[in-house]
Structure 1
């Protein structure tokens, strides 16, 4: 077994370093119970203001954080003969389709938007734009594609239109054919398993297209604008990571589809203040304690006919979390209760709609979802499942009746996701790690024999896309030493070649160290100025997320490029992963159950104080905090609850009142809000509570930044927070990003925003 023993040893003996700031401080804390970093007796002078290269910020914005130009949506053909993927230029959002030939070890450009549209302007429907927002997708050009099972034909939606492409005949007359329709823009088109038909959603209804003739037939008819067929509802896309709303039967003769009824839901309205003459956009949005979308499943024949509705106890299990309809194995659904304490995995008889429960998962706090399971194997006689039942995410094998056979991972190996299965070899491919700041690719034996085999060597973040037969896999890596690549490999790891990259190289490597500190062994990243002078004291910027589903500290340099630009203004930037973040086991993550802020804030403060003890160049009298989304929420809470530590904060798109966020996310952690008193979870987790209750004399300035068109964390969150602070005399400033959503994709806005971030911290941390 290949382990992370050497990495853990490095963490135990000193920090991991990049750039010019490598040091050898001990990571065993002299004061494990906490304590502040006393800078008052340190006579080092304060580092003066410095100017970082503005050209970097422009390049950072125009390259989308130096991420444009890397392969994405990598798809390995089922027979392992090659790889399809999208890629743009280093400063272009326009996606193009490429093919890597495994036999020749070469790639070629296959398809562009120009070839499909012939120069016509690209247009997105409101529905498709919203779907891309849920996917955090900012690309133009070819943004998605699918391929027939035999690999011969491509299906490409673009600008609301739908194209069939003969993969081998591209460039010849007739190789590109548009499926024309007047029923509306094409959303989520997919081939039938035999490649003879395409299913697609248009105008909120499900259609099927005969590939040979191009004839299109409507399979559903929505009774009104509040009902859609074939689309996942908002919380499924945003919070469950389920983007699909229909599934083909293995024989291609019928389709299972989701019907969503939002009639009972509240509607939120987004008005563009820059254009008051425009009609506001209206969206159904489920706030805690209020109505969710009503969701049900039905099976419809592709030749037309009545829908057979799937039956389960919707009262007990209102959430539809995942669906699989495998080639060999039963149609299977995972449904969940509103509190997310209990979920039921059920098989479905598509002929009658009847369901049979295989087993139930329960958790007193909440259940996390894994969209890579269940995975049926061995002709439907066994299935793979993941669970946190023993205190850490693990992969396990079960029989067709749901009974458990064995765990396939255990101990300190934290399972992350299932990548694929090679049934002939008896192997499952997974991502997992023993080190919270890393992710690696492993192979585990289905018979439970032996130890998991680690397939990726270098410290960093690794993932893979595996061919159906396991013969070929694409290894995507972002390593500690700065290598970012997608390497095509044979099953045994032998390298075939690399997928091409057009991404620009950053102009510098971050001056970055990783450390482990404190009684909870917090993982920490520190970015110092590239011309760091150990004889000076530096103001500190805590760049934070601090919440579920995201790790701020990962052993790769590229995510810290903006932090380096901040640091080069003569700050030290610190990132800390405390309790509530993933990858450290059930107890670590469940520390936020019923209280979003207390454990994360305690951990960030204590770890910061430990760093102050260890590194006297950190001026803990001058600490600022900033973050986005949950990180914005944390930043606002930090300056309100701990003004003794945090001198100023920047809150980007913060949730200020959890009663105004969505059901599935909020109720997972805080429960239902009915009948709650002033000591309840929502009260103690609300920024508004502390904006009005905190001591007014503890005035710490807060800069709020928010997109006015944000349909995830609505702009009203920042408006309510600024209003509350204004009325009690607390200092705050609101920077409204006109017309922007939860993302900041426009280079000019990203540039100006970061200039304001560093200007704010210069004003608050150095000049006062």
Structure 2
């Protein structure tokens, strides 16, 4: 490419984009000089400042009052000010909660500090039934204020919030959470004792102790016990402990020291051994041990136990096999130790463990469970005695999360995406559905991505919906019929457009299979010359644990700020990311180096057909963490397309990174594919321009991941740039790193010098 003429370069750009030669030749390369570039930086900063001052209410968080009919919320205003709004759902009314000017005077008198009426710092706020009096907390003081005359008195904290609308009503317990061990039996008559690794039970009435196990020792003790509800059985484990290995880093620049400070911590990496737990049962009535016919639990800790209603002979527990290819609900007979699988979900690729939902319904010996076994994530009703399954949801769409389960009405309240045809398949809508799969109700039918919170009694809900380039609307609705009660906020794009910014645009093209839609977003310079072509920069994060292209209203972002310098910036969700079909997700299996690049490259080629200003002969890419791995991988595995990359704190070799994340997608045991896909192993393939950024105190991805890549590049005699930020953790480099990233792309893609900041504000004598 270096020896090709300018015209030939343009021709190659045309071939890549699929444009006709005539269309490409009609455009000129955007190549600002140093003076124009400095102006671009200045204008980008000014626009950034202007945009952050425009009123934006992307999410309303209601604080419900004790009457369950009224709430208040903080409403954002322009210039980073705010006000408080009071809403009565029962009457469908909305008003300012109080006069901000008069309230500021109250707070000023009470605290003896200057108070800005537009930025009242009230941390707690409670209204009486008539909403003419409030009790509030400010600056660690509690005040009672009469809103008729704004007379106030000091008071004490006598009120508590009855409900936090920002948190789900029901939480699925993480399998990483430890189960608290209780030594005393539920009936209070017996006490569990552990001596020398063995199990003893003490009768608290007689003081007599009985030894129940004899093969325990300090090296492999018994522990992690749970009592049965009737106090007749102890369930525990023979433990084979394994010490988690450590990783280290050095803080080079601790103030007041002259030596580096070594930091060490436990950090399990792929393939490391885990502590294992062999289940066992102790009958404390007949003082005998019953061995459970089950393999040891060698992944996660001891699970939560679920006892059959009215029958303490049986309990069930969940087991995730290491490698994430099998999930079971196992029932144990405590009298015989025999087991059976109530549920056995297996796959040839992976089961996304963090997305498994289980909710036990002991009153009816049922449970709600989620699985991708039919190709999409759906909910199933399981009879925990017979194992019979029936679908609660089904179709070519995805259940994203369960909000709650109503065991009285036998309904599930959940979030899903992909149900509405003709709409972005990532848009989240909220639904409720009966256990038998009937009477599905869409609580949020309006087009857009929805965020919902409910009133404490679930009579009302607040629905805020928007699109990346469509302003948010917040509506209070009734649960019974999903009808609007009151529109609280109705966002507009007008004030943002007045600043001159171009709102992001959504673009869709086909994936590598020629059928599946790939969705992404495009940011363009607000002063883009339609007669010129601009380099393209992709912001990438291809972690398989989610999807990442923004769906809520986003009038300003780092991507837009970078675009203002003279780039077209894009973000794409390629195959291998989550929230689509199982087949879409499976692309990542033992294949993280793929990162959806075949889909991303096709997407940008199609983009260049619609937007001839997008010069895909000059494509840069940047990302952090998994995105740091992805962006370097783009240069190593697709050098024909990507020309420059900035990679921050990347997990450049999946053997160096955290165990739980990497084994989920790369599998277990650790095989040759780990090394084959490593950026470090493939460092000698580097052709483009690369900037590596790492924080020396990164506790998420060990810093040596980046340092080892640098070492491999040096040994391969490759040119690259390197920035290590002293004292910084897992980050893109902070303000300094983000500035260096922009400068790097300006130099490598625009071939222009960024501002000389060392000369700024220098006084020459």
- Structures share fold, TM-score greater than 0.5: yes
1:517 to 509, 512, 532: 509
1:705 to 656, 673, 693: 693
CA distance in 1, matches of 2:706, 2:434: 50
CA distance in 2, matches of 1:510, 1:471: 40
**1:690 corresponds to which residue?**
682
**1:731 corresponds to which residue?**
719
1:384 to 338, 346, 368: 368
2:442 is the counterpart of 1:446 = no
Aligned pairs for 1:113-132 within 5 A: none
Determine if contact 1:71/1:500 at 8 Å carries over to the other structure. Answer: no
Deviation at 1:641, TM superposition (A): 1.8
- Provide Cα deviations, 1:164-193, integer angstroms capped at 9, x if missing partner: xxxxxx97446499xxxxxxxxxxxx9xx9
**1:124 corresponds to which residue?**
none
**2:173 corresponds to which residue?**
none
Q: Mark the CA change 1:707 to 1:576 in structure 2 (over 3 Å): closer, same or farther.
A: same
Deviation at 1:407, TM superposition (A): 1.6
Moved more, 647-656 or 379-388: 379-388
CA distance in 1, matches of 2:55, 2:692: 26
Aligned pairs for 1:551-700 within 5 A: 551-558=547-554, 561-598=557-594, 600-674=596-670, 676=671, 680-692=672-684, 694=685, 699-700=687-688
Q: Mark the CA change 1:71 to 1:316 in structure 2 (over 3 Å): closer, same or farther.
A: same
Give 3-state SS (helix, strand or coil) of 1:647's partner: strand
CA RMSD of aligned residues (A): 5.6
Aligned pairs for 1:481-500 within 5 A: 481-484=469-472, 488-491=476-479, 492-495=481-484
**1:48 corresponds to which residue?**
31
Q: Mark the CA change 1:584 to 1:627 in structure 2 (over 3 Å): closer, same or farther.
A: same
Deviation at 1:511, TM superposition (A): 2.8
Determine if contact 2:574/2:600 at 8 Å carries over to the other structure. Answer: yes
Query: TM-score if structure 2 supplies the norm length?
Result: 0.65
Aligned pairs for 1:8-87 within 5 A: 36-37=17-18, 42-43=24-25, 44-49=27-32, 50=37, 51-52=39-40, 54=42
Q: Mark the CA change 1:266 to 1:39 in structure 2 (over 3 Å): closer, same or farther.
A: farther
**2:270 corresponds to which residue?**
288
**2:417 corresponds to which residue?**
433
Q: Mark the CA change 1:85 to 1:723 in structure 2 (over 3 Å): closer, same or farther.
A: farther
Aligned pairs for 1:81-160 within 5 A: none
2:379 is the counterpart of 1:395 = yes
CA distance in 1, matches of 2:290, 2:40: 61
- Provide Cα deviations, 1:196-252, integer angstroms capped at 9, x if missing partner: xxxxxxxx99999xxxxxxxxxx999999xxxxxxxxxxxxxxxxxxxx9999999x
Q: Mark the CA change 1:409 to 1:543 in structure 2 (over 3 Å): closer, same or farther.
A: same
Determine if contact 1:382/1:397 at 8 Å carries over to the other structure. Answer: yes
- Provide Cα deviations, 1:481-525, integer angstroms capped at 9, x if missing partner: 5434665543133456689999x9976764322122132322122
Larger Rg: 2
CA distance in 2, matches of 1:64, 1:294: 52
Give 3-state SS (helix, strand or coil) of 1:699's partner: coil
**1:180 corresponds to which residue?**
none
Determine if contact 1:47/1:570 at 8 Å carries over to the other structure. Answer: yes
Give 3-state SS (helix, strand or coil) of 2:522's partner: strand
1:359 to 343, 365, 386: 343
Determine if contact 2:399/2:415 at 8 Å carries over to the other structure. Answer: yes
Q: Mark the CA change 1:354 to 1:561 in structure 2 (over 3 Å): closer, same or farther.
A: farther
2:738 is the counterpart of 1:754 = yes
Determine if contact 1:442/1:455 at 8 Å carries over to the other structure. Answer: yes
Determine if contact 2:412/2:435 at 8 Å carries over to the other structure. Answer: yes
**2:536 corresponds to which residue?**
540
CA distance in 1, matches of 2:542, 2:243: 34
1:764 to 748, 754, 759: 748
Q: Mark the CA change 1:620 to 1:273 in structure 2 (over 3 Å): closer, same or farther.
A: same
- Provide Cα deviations, 1:391-440, integer angstroms capped at 9, x if missing partner: 11111222232634422222222211111234444432211111433211
Give 3-state SS (helix, strand or coil) of 1:537's partner: strand
CA distance in 1, matches of 2:340, 2:78: 51
2:248 is the counterpart of 1:269 = yes
CA distance in 2, matches of 1:388, 1:369: 11
